[in-house]
Amino acid sequence: MKIVAVATVLSLFSSRIRVASVVALVAATLTVCSHSSADIYRWVDADGVVHFTSKKEDPAARLFLRGNRSNHGREYASTGAAAVGDPDRFRRFDLWIRQAASAYQLPEALLRAVIKVESNYEPTALSPAGARGLMQLMPDTAAAMQVRAINDPRENIFGGARFLRILANAFSGDLRLTIAGYNAGEAAVHRYKGIPPYAETQAYVERVATFYRRYRAMADASEASREP
Protein backbone atom coordinates (compact mmCIF):
# COMPACT_ATOMS: atom_id res chain seq x y z
CA MET A 1 0.00 0.00 0.00
CA LYS A 2 1.38 3.38 -0.99
CA ILE A 3 0.93 6.36 1.28
CA VAL A 4 -1.06 9.24 -0.14
CA ALA A 5 0.93 12.43 -0.77
CA VAL A 6 4.32 10.85 -0.08
CA ALA A 7 5.94 13.49 -2.27
CA THR A 8 4.71 16.21 0.08
CA VAL A 9 6.14 14.39 3.05
CA LEU A 10 9.47 13.84 1.36
CA SER A 11 9.73 17.54 0.58
CA LEU A 12 9.20 18.27 4.26
CA PHE A 13 11.91 15.78 5.20
CA SER A 14 14.32 16.88 2.50
CA SER A 15 15.72 19.94 4.31
CA ARG A 16 18.10 18.10 6.57
CA ILE A 17 18.99 19.68 9.88
CA ARG A 18 22.06 19.15 12.04
CA VAL A 19 20.43 16.83 14.50
CA ALA A 20 23.18 16.63 17.11
CA SER A 21 23.26 20.41 17.52
CA VAL A 22 19.51 20.73 17.64
CA VAL A 23 19.17 17.89 20.16
CA ALA A 24 21.52 19.66 22.54
CA LEU A 25 20.02 23.09 21.98
CA VAL A 26 16.40 22.06 22.36
CA ALA A 27 17.19 19.92 25.39
CA ALA A 28 18.89 22.91 26.98
CA THR A 29 15.99 25.12 25.97
CA LEU A 30 13.48 22.88 27.68
CA THR A 31 15.59 22.65 30.81
CA VAL A 32 16.01 26.42 31.01
CA CYS A 33 12.35 27.08 30.30
CA SER A 34 11.22 24.77 33.05
CA HIS A 35 12.98 27.02 35.56
CA SER A 36 12.70 30.50 34.06
CA SER A 37 10.36 32.93 32.35
CA ALA A 38 12.56 33.55 29.29
CA ASP A 39 11.00 33.32 25.85
CA ILE A 40 12.92 31.18 23.34
CA TYR A 41 13.32 32.22 19.71
CA ARG A 42 14.13 30.05 16.69
CA TRP A 43 15.76 31.04 13.42
CA VAL A 44 17.46 29.35 10.47
CA ASP A 45 20.70 30.75 9.05
CA ALA A 46 21.83 30.85 5.43
CA ASP A 47 23.33 27.36 5.73
CA GLY A 48 20.05 25.90 6.92
CA VAL A 49 21.21 25.45 10.52
CA VAL A 50 18.49 25.88 13.14
CA HIS A 51 19.33 28.16 16.07
CA PHE A 52 17.59 28.65 19.41
CA THR A 53 18.20 31.68 21.61
CA SER A 54 16.65 33.47 24.56
CA LYS A 55 17.39 36.83 22.89
CA LYS A 56 15.88 37.99 19.63
CA GLU A 57 19.23 38.89 18.13
CA ASP A 58 18.36 38.12 14.50
CA PRO A 59 15.51 39.84 12.60
CA ALA A 60 14.47 36.45 11.25
CA ALA A 61 14.01 34.96 14.73
CA ARG A 62 10.49 33.90 15.59
CA LEU A 63 9.02 33.01 18.96
CA PHE A 64 9.39 29.25 19.41
CA LEU A 65 8.55 28.69 23.07
CA ARG A 66 7.01 31.18 25.46
CA GLY A 67 8.67 31.21 28.85
CA ASN A 68 6.77 29.73 31.75
CA ARG A 69 5.42 32.57 33.81
CA SER A 70 3.39 30.42 36.16
CA ASN A 71 3.09 26.80 37.24
CA HIS A 72 6.55 26.11 35.70
CA GLY A 73 4.83 25.35 32.40
CA ARG A 74 3.36 22.10 33.65
CA GLU A 75 -0.09 22.72 32.23
CA TYR A 76 -0.59 19.00 31.88
CA ALA A 77 0.08 18.33 35.56
CA SER A 78 -2.78 20.58 36.60
CA THR A 79 -5.31 18.91 34.32
CA GLY A 80 -4.96 15.41 35.69
CA ALA A 81 -5.33 12.24 33.65
CA ALA A 82 -8.05 12.12 31.02
CA ALA A 83 -10.46 9.20 30.88
CA VAL A 84 -10.00 6.74 28.06
CA GLY A 85 -13.23 7.90 26.41
CA ASP A 86 -12.52 11.60 26.87
CA PRO A 87 -11.86 13.24 23.45
CA ASP A 88 -9.70 15.87 25.14
CA ARG A 89 -7.01 13.23 25.64
CA PHE A 90 -6.16 13.66 21.96
CA ARG A 91 -5.80 17.46 22.19
CA ARG A 92 -4.00 17.99 25.49
CA PHE A 93 -0.53 17.89 23.98
CA ASP A 94 -1.17 19.94 20.83
CA LEU A 95 1.21 22.75 21.75
CA TRP A 96 4.16 20.46 22.43
CA ILE A 97 3.46 18.39 19.31
CA ARG A 98 3.49 21.55 17.18
CA GLN A 99 6.69 22.77 18.82
CA ALA A 100 8.48 19.46 18.34
CA ALA A 101 7.32 19.19 14.72
CA SER A 102 8.60 22.71 14.05
CA ALA A 103 11.93 22.15 15.80
CA TYR A 104 12.72 18.96 13.90
CA GLN A 105 10.96 19.81 10.64
CA LEU A 106 8.57 16.87 10.79
CA PRO A 107 4.89 16.69 9.82
CA GLU A 108 2.67 17.12 12.88
CA ALA A 109 0.55 14.30 11.49
CA LEU A 110 3.48 11.90 11.80
CA LEU A 111 4.09 12.73 15.46
CA ARG A 112 0.39 12.38 16.20
CA ALA A 113 0.18 9.05 14.39
CA VAL A 114 3.16 7.63 16.28
CA ILE A 115 1.75 8.79 19.60
CA LYS A 116 -1.64 7.30 18.75
CA VAL A 117 -0.22 3.90 17.82
CA GLU A 118 2.41 3.79 20.55
CA SER A 119 0.40 4.91 23.58
CA ASN A 120 -3.07 6.08 22.50
CA TYR A 121 -2.11 9.44 24.03
CA GLU A 122 -1.60 7.97 27.50
CA PRO A 123 1.43 9.75 29.04
CA THR A 124 1.91 7.09 31.72
CA ALA A 125 1.90 4.15 29.29
CA LEU A 126 4.44 1.44 30.13
CA SER A 127 5.11 -1.52 27.85
CA PRO A 128 6.16 -4.99 29.07
CA ALA A 129 9.57 -4.30 27.50
CA GLY A 130 9.97 -1.10 29.51
CA ALA A 131 9.12 1.53 26.88
CA ARG A 132 7.57 4.58 28.49
CA GLY A 133 5.38 7.55 27.81
CA LEU A 134 3.50 9.01 24.89
CA MET A 135 6.08 7.94 22.30
CA GLN A 136 7.11 4.76 24.15
CA LEU A 137 10.79 5.53 24.48
CA MET A 138 13.09 2.86 25.82
CA PRO A 139 15.32 4.20 28.60
CA ASP A 140 18.51 3.87 26.52
CA THR A 141 16.91 5.66 23.56
CA ALA A 142 15.60 8.38 25.86
CA ALA A 143 19.09 8.86 27.28
CA ALA A 144 20.60 9.08 23.80
CA MET A 145 18.00 11.72 22.89
CA GLN A 146 18.93 13.65 26.05
CA VAL A 147 15.55 13.11 27.69
CA ARG A 148 16.04 13.65 31.40
CA ALA A 149 12.50 12.91 32.58
CA ILE A 150 11.13 10.12 30.41
CA ASN A 151 7.64 10.32 31.97
CA ASP A 152 7.32 14.06 31.34
CA PRO A 153 4.96 14.39 28.33
CA ARG A 154 6.79 17.32 26.79
CA GLU A 155 10.24 15.75 27.09
CA ASN A 156 8.91 12.44 25.80
CA ILE A 157 7.40 14.09 22.72
CA PHE A 158 10.59 16.01 21.96
CA GLY A 159 12.71 12.90 22.47
CA GLY A 160 10.55 10.88 20.10
CA ALA A 161 10.65 13.68 17.54
CA ARG A 162 14.46 13.81 17.74
CA PHE A 163 14.62 10.10 17.10
CA LEU A 164 12.24 10.35 14.14
CA ARG A 165 14.32 13.19 12.68
CA ILE A 166 17.48 11.09 12.92
CA LEU A 167 15.72 8.19 11.22
CA ALA A 168 14.29 10.45 8.51
CA ASN A 169 17.79 11.70 7.76
CA ALA A 170 19.15 8.14 7.72
CA PHE A 171 16.52 7.01 5.20
CA SER A 172 16.56 10.11 2.99
CA GLY A 173 13.09 11.13 4.09
CA ASP A 174 11.36 7.85 3.18
CA LEU A 175 8.29 7.92 5.40
CA ARG A 176 7.66 4.18 5.59
CA LEU A 177 11.29 3.34 6.32
CA THR A 178 11.36 6.04 9.00
CA ILE A 179 8.31 4.49 10.66
CA ALA A 180 9.80 1.00 10.36
CA GLY A 181 13.03 2.21 11.94
CA TYR A 182 11.14 3.63 14.90
CA ASN A 183 9.70 0.18 15.59
CA ALA A 184 12.44 -2.25 14.54
CA GLY A 185 15.53 -0.07 14.75
CA GLU A 186 17.64 1.60 12.09
CA ALA A 187 20.03 -1.35 11.80
CA ALA A 188 17.25 -3.81 10.93
CA VAL A 189 15.95 -1.58 8.14
CA HIS A 190 19.43 -1.24 6.68
CA ARG A 191 20.04 -4.99 7.01
CA TYR A 192 16.91 -5.89 5.06
CA LYS A 193 17.21 -2.90 2.70
CA GLY A 194 13.61 -2.05 3.44
CA ILE A 195 10.87 -2.78 5.94
CA PRO A 196 12.01 -5.82 7.95
CA PRO A 197 9.96 -9.02 7.44
CA TYR A 198 8.66 -8.91 10.99
CA ALA A 199 4.90 -9.24 11.32
CA GLU A 200 4.85 -6.72 14.16
CA THR A 201 6.85 -4.11 12.23
CA GLN A 202 4.88 -4.54 9.01
CA ALA A 203 1.59 -4.15 10.88
CA TYR A 204 3.03 -1.18 12.77
CA VAL A 205 4.02 0.63 9.58
CA GLU A 206 0.55 0.17 8.09
CA ARG A 207 -1.18 1.32 11.27
CA VAL A 208 0.95 4.44 11.68
CA ALA A 209 0.52 5.21 7.98
CA THR A 210 -3.25 4.89 8.34
CA PHE A 211 -3.41 7.35 11.21
CA TYR A 212 -0.92 9.62 9.47
CA ARG A 213 -3.37 9.93 6.58
CA ARG A 214 -6.25 10.53 8.97
CA TYR A 215 -4.45 13.31 10.84
CA ARG A 216 -3.53 14.97 7.54
CA ALA A 217 -7.08 14.78 6.26
CA MET A 218 -9.01 15.75 9.41
CA ALA A 219 -8.71 19.00 11.33
CA ASP A 220 -10.25 17.49 14.47
CA ALA A 221 -7.60 15.42 16.24
CA SER A 222 -10.21 13.63 18.31
CA GLU A 223 -12.08 12.52 15.21
CA ALA A 224 -8.89 11.51 13.43
CA SER A 225 -7.89 9.44 16.46
CA ARG A 226 -10.90 7.18 16.17
CA GLU A 227 -10.22 3.65 15.00
CA PRO A 228 -10.92 3.43 11.25
C-alpha triplet 145, 88, 42: angle, nearest 5°: 40
Q: Note the pTM of the prediction, 2 decimals.
A: 0.70
- Rounded alpha-carbon distances, angstroms, from residue 187 to 117, 127, 170, 180, 196: 22, 22, 10, 11, 10
The 10s digit of each residue's pLDDT in 189-208 is: 999 999 999 999 999 999 99
Q: Are 207 and 117 in contact (CB under 8 A)?
A: yes
Q: Are 78 and 71 in contact (CB under 8 A)?
A: yes
Q: Are 92 and 66 in contact (CB under 8 A)?
A: no
Structure confidence at residue 216 (pLDDT) = 97
Structure confidence at residue 109 (pLDDT) = 98
| Closest of 19, 18, 13, 16 to residue 173, by C-alpha | 13
* Residue 187 confidence (pLDDT) above 90: yes
- What's the rounded mean pLDDT across residues 171-188? 96
Structure confidence at residue 29 (pLDDT) = 47
Architecture of domain 6-224 in this structure: Orthogonal Bundle (1.10)
Catalytic residue positions, numbered: 118
- Rounded alpha-carbon distances, angstroms, from residue 103 to 5, 107, 122: 22, 11, 23
Q: Are 9 and 3 in contact (CB under 8 A)?
A: yes
Locate the domains of the chain by residue range. Answer: 6-224
**Half-sphere exposure of 84 toward its Cβ, with a 13 Å CA cutoff?**
2
Mean of the per-residue pLDDT values for the chain? 78
86 vs 16: which has the higher pLDDT: 86
The 10s digit of each residue's pLDDT in 40-69 is: 666 677 766 656 565 666 677 766 555 444
CB-based burial of residue 120 (10 Å sphere; 0-12 exposed, 13-18 middle, 19+ buried)? middle
Say how many Å lie between the first and final Cα of the chain, rounded: 16
Q: Is the dihedral of CA 4, 118, 180, 200 positive or negative?
A: negative
Instruction: Return d(Cα 22, Cα 28) in angstroms, integer.
Output: 10
